[in-house]
Structure 1
Amino acid sequence: MRKWGVCWMVAGLLLWPVCVGAESTRQGDKDVTVLDPVVVTAGRMEENRSDVSNNLTVITTDQIEQSAARDLGELLGQQGFMIREYINSLSTIQIRGFSTDTYGEELNGYVLILIDGRRSGTGDLSKIMLDNIERVEIIRGPGSVQYGASATGGVINIITKKGYDGTHCFAEGTLGSWGYHKASAGASGTLKDFDFSFSASTESQDDYDTAQGEVYRNTGYDAKDRISMSAGWTFLPNHHFGLTYSDYQGDGVGNPGYFSQNDLDDYGDHGLRSVDAVYDGQTDDGSFIWKLRYFDGREKYEVYDPTLSYFRETDQKGAQAQLTAKWTRVDVTAGFDWLNYAIENTYSSGDNTYDSPAAFILLKTKFLDEKLILSFGGRHDWYSIESDQGERIDETNWSTSFGAVYKITPAWRIRTNYAEAFKMPTPDQLFMYNDYGPIWGIWAGNQDLDPETSQTYEVGMDYATRFFSASLTYFTTDFEDKISYTYIPADNLTQYENVEGATISGIEGTLDFDIGTWFDWSFKLAPYLSFTHLFEYRDEEDDQDLQYTPEWTASCGLRLTYREIGLISHLNVTYTSKQDITDYEGTGETTLGSYTVADLTASKDLLSFGEYGNLALKAAIRNLFDKDYATIQGYPMPGRSFYVGLKYEY
């Protein structure tokens, strides 16, 4: 009964503004606007957000700049997603009970991270810089039809900044608690037929204190250096060729282990590099649009220990080709993807390879004066997975999706969606055979493993006016053939196997109310709320709640924007309920407690140089109330932290 009470309560909140505003909506009142107009993630081509049947979250440039986040993981944590962070290093996200991989391996995750519509090559959000991001789009729910394997829980598409009219530049310096300092600079613009964008930053930090006032040693890092640059050439009307390069290097990143067993000499070096070449074009009337892309990258993860060090390098390359035909009532996008991974680690004698061509088709059609939008998607993936010893597995997969949107009024719509997703076994899960000694024993792969699969159903409704927006989505996922492992005592051997999966269902909701716009004030004052509540998240194998899966995650806060005096401020509060865990630390605890964390940021213009830009003072307090909490057992997060900086923009 409790879960239905929650449903009716939130539904009432959503329907109230609809009922109150229905008359003005029919009359074309100036307050009514449709949802944010353009997104690119859902259908691989630009389309109106109101035409998308998935539950979609968009984090704008303003929201990124108003946050206290230093990387993508911290940014998404402030949006109400569950984030697990291994102290300034590895950062994972969970969407609808599915997560990126703990150690950042893209192929072993269930949430896919994209950069401008292509795979980023990592599942570690701490490697993604924020300085050159225009916006972030998040599909909550499967994205395998559009992007292939490892997209069971959702897809995060990072849209980088591109050059536009004029020349724009910035320089920023920040100092903070625990010896933190960061310097960043960037520029973007156009020169006749050429466009460019560039951003670079460097930062470092010493060991931090927990909220209990104790130094957590070996939690600092020597340097985190990031660079992102793009250049493009419009060589004919509607034809554009672009090159993009990005690089992240984390050097001397502390690897402290559990606070109770603080390790002082382990550290890691991490890296992520990529190069893209993209050609976009379309006919003069826009009836045909095409894209060709080739990309190449490398993800590096190394941990140094006096007794046992480990490294992993993943070389990734791929290509995308797609064509969209736009007719009166039907849009069709068809194309081809190709991905190749070469993975080498401490325990392999060469590369484990993962090769995957795929073909897809996405169709969208409109009826009833474009009030009803129906969509269909299908994708066929071929996989060849080969070990460093020459063992090989070939497999195929077909994924399907269906969606519908009905626009009841310009402000109110309902939607439903069905989508399938899958994850292929990794080379390690298929072929590995490693003897880790007397403690861990032998771990072995299993060449008879089946792909993990899922089917997700969802239904939702959205309401949006000039000053108010709300959304509610119900979803349920049937997850099958989960890849786990079993221990065989007689052989001291642990082997991968397919086991029963899980059923995960819940609701997601958002509310955003701009009080300033409602009262026609000269400034914006906007409270907001975002939450996910899971009704069911049972592991069918042992009939227990899924581990590392909270029942509730939420964020709420208040945004103040007063352009006339150059003041912007943002208070954000996040909540994560308790979750069941495995007690690897050996404390006897089997749950990780709930935690509520608040962050406060503010920016105030100090000097205006007219046409030559302005200088602003920025400040932030993270963990405002000095909360003692951990996102992972035994790894307490920093106590209250202060940051202050100057930013010049032109």
Structure 2
Amino acid sequence: MLKGIIRLLFVLSFSTPALAQAQTFNLPEIVVTASRWDEPRADVPQSLTVISRDEIERRGTSFVTELLQTQSDLFLVQNGGAGKNATLLLRGGNGRQVLVLVDGVRVNSPSTGAADLGGLLTDDIERIEILKGPQSTLYGSEAMAGVVNIITRKVVGPPKTALLVEAGSFSTRKASGSLSGGTDRHDYRFSATWLDTQGISAARSGTEPDAYTNTTLSARLGFAPSARTGLDLNLRYVHDRSELDGFEAGVGMVDALNWIQKRDDYLVALRGEIFLLDNYEQTLGLSLAGQRLKSEDPDTLWNNARINTTTHQLDWQHVLDLDRLTLSGGFAYRREAAENKDVFDEAVDNKAGYANTKLRLLDENLILDAGLRYDKHETFGDELTYRIGALYHFRPRDLRIRANHGSGFRAPSLNELFYPFYGNPNLKPEKSSAWDVGIEQDFFAGRLTLGATWFQQRYRNLIQTNFATFTADNIGRARVKGLELTAMARPMDAVLIKSSYTWLDALDVDTQSRLALRPRSKVVSSVEYTFAALSLGVEHIYVSRRLDPFIGRDLSAYGLVNLRSAYTLTRSLSVFARIDNLFDKSYEVAGDFGTPGFAAFGGLKAGF
């Protein structure tokens, strides 16, 4: 039955209509992550990538992890199939050194320091902004290698209802719906998504599938009492249930028949803004992000846990726009708490003040950016970070040149500080410094864009296990350098070609060995064809060999080919289908963990 549905959807998708209609490709013009306020993307000196809503819809993927895998400068480490724990590597930094935000609210775990992206679905996401390089000046701890800001949808217009149903391989089923609308005075969006899949075995050698179920509810409400004031409320709740596999000494990952993890993630964020003058804006943000995790395995003692974490945050920001000079600054307070039942129950506070300035010169072709931040952490004390950047736009040749330098830090996680027999309350923060230079140029009236960025970054005080004491200690150092190349071409209105390549040299300074799981090369290429109601796409992802010291061997290089298609039947109804891993390649992203083979999915979308 399911195979028949998939075949039908592909037949409909390849039924080319008689009339063609040109479709233009527009990159998002406004971004928020680079300076913490809305600004044209063309004014951003920092290295920034945006995954737009159009791209999200064209790809038709369900998970944020699937979107991030299509970026050559990012690498996802996932412990099994759909919904399993997934952390992000960026410019050599590990998951604890990349700050992940949802609508500006940090979701990195206070317990581990990393953000688990495995359960994030794409249905209510407007865009993802990826800001690369140290960004602690604006965002504080964890923003050592960069910031990933996941921004949810905000819709203004007549009331609209959207529905989606999907089914596919591994007994996957999905349904989602949303209701949205609004005016210049108020807006609203409510959405719900349910996904269930039998999945694959989380253990590479396992035979028992490890199922995953996700229910995501979200609401976004906006109210503007006047032209000078606004209030936004974001609510988000995710409940998921995941079957896991275990580790057996001398064997590796093996089936765990009864290990189940249940998780509740919740986020509440309130943000108010007021223009005291036409050019002076104040914003006050209050947020709570938390997680309740319950791990149960009747067959073992060590797989059972109850962990509750919360992050309370207050941020008061000021932005003063003086024509060619923009001044911004503010105060931030954060309290992180973790309760690991029968293990520890601890919390730490952090206070910070920050300032940033942006200057536009030479008919606004030259943009200078500089910032400074002071953090006061409860355990390790003071930390000062900075950033400087410059962008020059040589308009006669559509040429843009940028350069940046900055510093970052990561506060020790609560596990690293307080976990019994391992934690060390005397830990110092990890620190990083980096610079990058980049160039980007448009040719043929924007039909071809080429870009290149060279970066170098150094890490020190890295927190690792000191095997003399078997506790956490600041004993690690690393050096990272790399090259990012991008190309985008539109030879005709109906065809879009994109390719990106990242070369990375990530080295442990003390052991002179490669950093774990960082590929030296990653290439992502895609071709998209749009002809009136029909959309087709093919992409290839290549990842080179990676060192996995946890299993004592290199992981082989691999290449994956994915296909996607969509067809608009009427103004309110469309069908879509996609194939992942077309040639059923066997590969690993983390040693001994399973990865999906050939998979096909299809569904329908309706909007009223």
Partner of 1:574: 541
The residue identity in structure 2 corresponding to 1:115 is V
Cα distance in structure 1, aligned partners of 2:277 and 2:526: 45
Query: Percent identity among equivalent residues?
Result: 27
Partner residue, 1:551: 520
**Structure 1 length as normaliser, TM-score?**
0.84
SS at match of 1:53: coil
For the 8 Å contact 1:35–1:49, the answer to whether it is kept is no
Specify the alignment match of 1:237 in structure 2. 227
- Cα pair distance change 1:211/1:360, threshold 3 Å: closer
SS in 2 for 1:430: helix
Query: Which ranges of structure 2 fall in alignment gaps of 5 or more residues?
Result: 1-23, 110-114
Deviation at 1:204, TM superposition (A): 0.7
Residue 445 of structure 1 aligns to a residue whose secondary structure is coil
Equivalent AA in structure 2 for residue 378 of structure 1: L
Q: Distance in 2 between matches of 1:409 and 1:34?
A: 19
Q: Counterparts of 2:43 and 2:220 in 1: how far apart (Å)? A: 30
CA distance in 2, matches of 1:368, 1:353: 49
CA distance in 2, matches of 1:361, 1:629: 46
1:485 is matched with which residue? 465
Instruction: Give yes or no for the alignment of 1:318 onto 2:313.
Output: yes
Following the alignment from structure 2 to structure 1, what is the Cα–Cα distance between the partners of residues 430 and 231? 38
> Partners in 1 of 2:351 and 2:256 — Cα distance?
44
More helix by share: 1
What is the alpha-carbon distance in structure 2 between the residues aligned to residue 237 and residue 379 of structure 1? 32
Given residue 636 of structure 1, which amino acid in structure 2 is its aligned partner? Answer: G
The equivalent residue for 1:405 is 391
TM-score (norm 2): 0.89
Q: 1:593 to 1:347 in 2, by over 3 A?
A: farther
Per-residue Cα deviation, 1:415-459 (whole angstroms, up to 9, x for no partner)? 1000100011223323332xxxxxxxxx33333322111110110
Instruction: Report if the CA contact (8 A) 1:218-1:254 is conserved.
Output: no
**Larger RCO, structures 1/2 (Cα 8 Å, 6+ apart):** 2
Shift of 1:338: 1.1
Tell me what 2:369 maps to.
375
* One-letter code aligned to 1:400: Y
Alpha-carbon spacing, 1:602–1:41, altered in 2? closer, same or farther (3 Å) = same
Q: Deviations over 1:368-387 (max 9, x none)?
A: 11111111000111111xxx
Q: Flag structure 1 segments of 5+ consecutive residues without an equivalent.
A: 1-31, 101-108, 385-392, 434-442, 518-523
- Match status 1:453 vs 2:443: no
Separation of aligned partners in 2, 1:200 and 1:501:
44
Kindly state the Cα deviation for residue 529 of structure 1 after the two structures are TM-superposed: 0.7
C-alpha spacing 1:334/1:192, structure 2 compared with 1 (3 Å): closer
Distance in structure 1 (CA, Å) of the matches to 2:297 and 2:118: 22
User: Which residue in the other structure is 2:236 paired with?
Assistant: 246
The separation in 1 between residues aligned to 2:290 and 2:165, in whole angstroms, is: 29
Q: Show the 5 A alignment for 1:121-200.
A: 121-122=108-109, 123-190=115-182, 193-200=185-192
Alignment-mate amino acid for residue 106 of structure 2: R
Q: Which amino acid aligns with 2:164?
A: E
Structure 1 residues 219-262: Cα deviation after superposition (integer angstroms, max 9, x where no partner)? 212x2100111111110113111111001111243446588622
Residue 333 of structure 2 aligns with an amino acid whose one-letter code is W
Please state how far the C-alpha of 1:365 moved relative to its aligned partner.
Answer: 0.6
How do 1:472-621 residues align onto structure 2 when only pairs under 5 Å count?
A: 472-488=452-468, 493-517=469-493, 524-534=494-504, 536-562=505-531, 564=532, 566-584=533-551, 589-606=552-569, 608=570, 613-621=571-579
Residue in structure 1 matched with residue 381 of structure 2 by the alignment:
395
Q: How far is the alpha carbon of 1:321 from its aligned partner?
A: 0.9
Q: Displacement of 1:35 after TM fit?
A: 7.1
CA distance in structure 1 between the aligned counterparts of 2:201 and 2:562, rounded to whole angstroms: 17
Q: Give the whole-Å Cα distance in 1 for the aligned partners of 2:103 and 2:269.
A: 10
Alignment pair present for 1:337 and 2:307: no
CA contact (8 A) 1:175 1:182 kept: yes
1:416 aligns with 2:433: no
Q: Deviations over 1:243-292 (max 9, x none)?
A: 1100111124344658862222212112210011111232563x112211
Residue of structure 2 equivalent to 1:63: 55
Distance 2:44 2:463 in 1: 32
Q: What amino acid is the match of 2:357? A: L
Within 1, Cα distance between the matches of 2:141 and 2:190? Answer: 31
* Residue of structure 2 in register with 1:4 after alignment: none
State the one-letter code of the partner of 2:44: V
1:92 aligned partner: 87
| 1:124-178 CA-partner distances (Å, limit 9, x unpaired) | 1123221111111101111111100001111001111112122222101111111
Distance 1:354 1:127, change over 3 A: farther
Distance 1:145 1:407, change over 3 A: same
1:526-548 residue CA offsets vs partner (Å, 9 max, x unmatched):
111112101x3211111111111
Q: 1:471 aligns with which of 451, 454, 457?
A: 451
What CA distance in whole angstroms lies between the structure 2 residues aligned with 1:274 and 1:428? Answer: 22
> Conserved in 1, the CA contact under 8 Å of 2:402 and 2:439?
yes
Worse-superposed segment, 169-178 or 299-308? 299-308
* Paired position in structure 2 for 1:19: none
Deviation at 1:191, TM superposition (A): 5.5
Q: Is the 1:572–1:599 Cα contact (8 Å) retained in structure 2? A: yes
- Counterparts of 2:271 and 2:348 in 1: how far apart (Å)? 23
Which residue, out of 118, 124, 129, partners 2:105? 118
- Alpha-carbon distance between aligned partners in 2 of 1:409 and 1:35, rounded to the nearest angstrom: 18
Q: 1:634 aligns with which of 579, 592, 604?
A: 592
Counterparts of 2:200 and 2:175 in 1: how far apart (Å)? 20
* Aligned 8 A contact 2:246 2:253 in 1: no
Separation of aligned partners in 1, 2:226 and 2:58? 38
1:35-83 per-position Cα deviation (integer Å, ceiling 9, x unaligned): 7521110000111212111111010111111224322111101222211
